[in-house]
Chain A
Amino acid sequence: MGFKDFISERWQIIKINTVETFMLQLSSIFENWIVLITSFFFVIINILFINVLFTNVSTIATYTKDQMILFSLIGNLSFFINIAWSADNMASLIYGVNKGDLDLILSKPLPSLFYVTFRKIDIFLFVKGFVPGAIAYIVIIKWFSLNITFESCLAAIVIFIAGQIALNFFQFLCVIPVFFRGSAEQLMSLSWAFEYNLGRMIPLEGLDKFFRILFITLIPVMISTGLTTSVLLNKSDLLLSILFSIVVSIVFILIKILLWKFALKNYTSASS
């Protein structure tokens, strides 16, 4: 298979899965409104939370109120992008292994790892979940008080993408035990606990050096949130952070491929 076919095949998978997920999401009007309302409500609570904190302190881990709101916005972006392309697919993989759904995928002439990674791409969920809240964040933040440059913006985008790859790897790592012991739901929910309670709440500068390195390498939940915000605000070295994120994400992709091959070797089909 040439490079062109390689790309074309994967593009087709992404395109078809995106459209299919979009059509599926459109069918549940009630659920769509609930997602919109709950997500917006969550943002309001978050902003209120930050406001309450800053009535008692002037900075949190060197972050001012506007910087914390920006961190919260990026945390929200990371959450919804991750939900839209990664978390649901990883949860589906657990189901697929247990119910024999994976057999069907493996029997098709498809790049299986790529397919299970991008099985659902829920752009609509991202739009209804993230956008209304993002507007509230954008209106509230006093942008002129933030030290954001064009370079830091570009660097933050690259690091954010690398962070999403890393987060997907971490979730994949939590799901892999399903091949060996039949369940991984609690591990998956543990990965959420890390992402939600650490990645979205504590700025990178709020941790000491050891934990900073831990949570952007072995448990990479802070790359797409803490590190991205830190770089965007010019609090971290741009080039070093970009280089680090790219290297980490490439290493994670390679490990993921190896783990997938290993898991499939040990995979005992659930169906007959």
Chain B
Amino acid sequence: MDIVIFTIKRFVEVIFLIVFWGAVSNGSNLDLKTLTSYFLISGGVAELIMINNLPVGDGIKGNVRTGQLSNDIIKPISIFLAQYAAKLGSRVLIPVTSIIMIIVGIILIGNITLFGYLYFFIALIIAMFLSYSFNLLLGCLYLITTSTYSGITSIINQSIKFFSGALVPIYFFPDGLRQIIEFLPFNFMIYAPTTALLEKSLNNVIVKNVCISLVWSLVLLVISIYLWKKSLKKYEAYGI
């Protein structure tokens, strides 16, 4: 039952975002159909790569609070991967609804080339690595601070939502700000995979974007794994 409610909740969030953009586009020259497909696909991508609310990193907070982490540390398992698996299990319906949302979005766009699908797939995999790193970095923060206040997740989540195109498509931003955002890793988590579907053939911009996103995913992965190991060593458990 809880899984169903969780899924409804996520669905409701995307619907309201579309309603909001409906209000924004009403009376302007913005195309609601394009915006709807954008938010359906971006909403699906955000859940598929587990970047929305950073559930894995946030789960570490819960384990720090309950002391479960102290038990897990002594087990011969990778704590973070175990947390990842636990979250996947508790969100079993989410990938299904995410894929449905993406398919509906694709149908709304129509006329997508094979190259578009291929580029979407590549961008999605890179986005997954980026999301993994961000979840890991959030987990590090909770380990270091042993704070249980959700505000830490909230501040990172808000930044990601805003700069990744989950709230506003990046092409809405003023030119100067847009050019900066296009180089940030947030851009490659949601906006890049979502708009990848619109591409028809390989060009210089795509090559540049793939290169930048690969560099970001590698750099962030190395940094986050290094910090995770460091923070585990520094983690001070409370309790017996």
Which residues from chain A sit less than 8 Å from chain B, CB to CB? 30-31, 34-35, 37-39, 41-42, 45, 48-49, 52-53, 55-61, 181, 183, 185-187, 189-190, 193-194, 197-198, 201-203, 206-207
Residues of B within 8 A of A52 (CB): 168, 172-174, 177
Residues of B within 8 A of A34 (CB): 147, 149, 151-152
Which residues from chain B sit less than 8 Å from chain A, CB to CB? 1-2, 5-6, 8-9, 12-13, 16-17, 19-20, 22-28, 30, 145, 147, 149, 151-152, 154-155, 158-159, 162, 167-168, 172-174, 177
Residues of B within 8 A of A187 (CB): 5
A45 adjacent to B16 (CB under 8 Å)? no
Q: In the complex, what distance in Å separates the CA atom of A206 from the CA atom of B5?
A: 26
- Contacts A53-B168, A57-B25, A183-B2 aside, 7 further interface pairs with beta carbons under 8 A come to A37-B151, A38-B152, A41-B159, A55-B173, A56-B24, A59-B27, A197-B17
A186 adjacent to B9 (CB under 8 Å)? yes
Tell whether A193 pairs with B23 under 8 Å between CB atoms, given A42-B155, A186-B2. no
Q: Interface of chain A, helix or strand or loop or mixed?
A: helix
Tell whether A60 pairs with B23 under 8 Å between CB atoms, given A52-B173, A190-B9, A197-B16. yes
Shortest distance between the CB of A100 and any CB in chain B (Å): 18
From B8, which residue of chain A is reached at the shortest CB distance?
Answer: A190
Top 10 nearest A-B pairs (CB, nearest first) are A206-B23, A38-B151, A186-B5, A197-B16, A61-B23, A57-B28, A38-B155, A186-B2, A193-B9, A190-B9
Q: In the complex, what distance in Å separates the CA atom of A193 from the CA atom of B6?
A: 10
Q: In the complex, what distance in Å separates the CA atom of A30 from the CA atom of B152?
A: 12
Contact of A185 among B2, B147, B159, B174 (CB under 8 A): B2
Q: In the complex, what distance in Å separates the CA atom of A185 from the CA atom of B3?
A: 11
B155 adjacent to A193 (CB under 8 Å)? no
List 20 A-B residue pairs with CB atoms under 8 Å apart, sorted by A's residue number.
A31-B149, A34-B149, A34-B151, A35-B151, A38-B152, A41-B158, A45-B158, A49-B162, A52-B168, A52-B173, A53-B168, A53-B172, A56-B24, A56-B30, A185-B2, A190-B5, A190-B12, A193-B16, A202-B16, A207-B23
Residues of B within 8 A of A183 (CB): 2
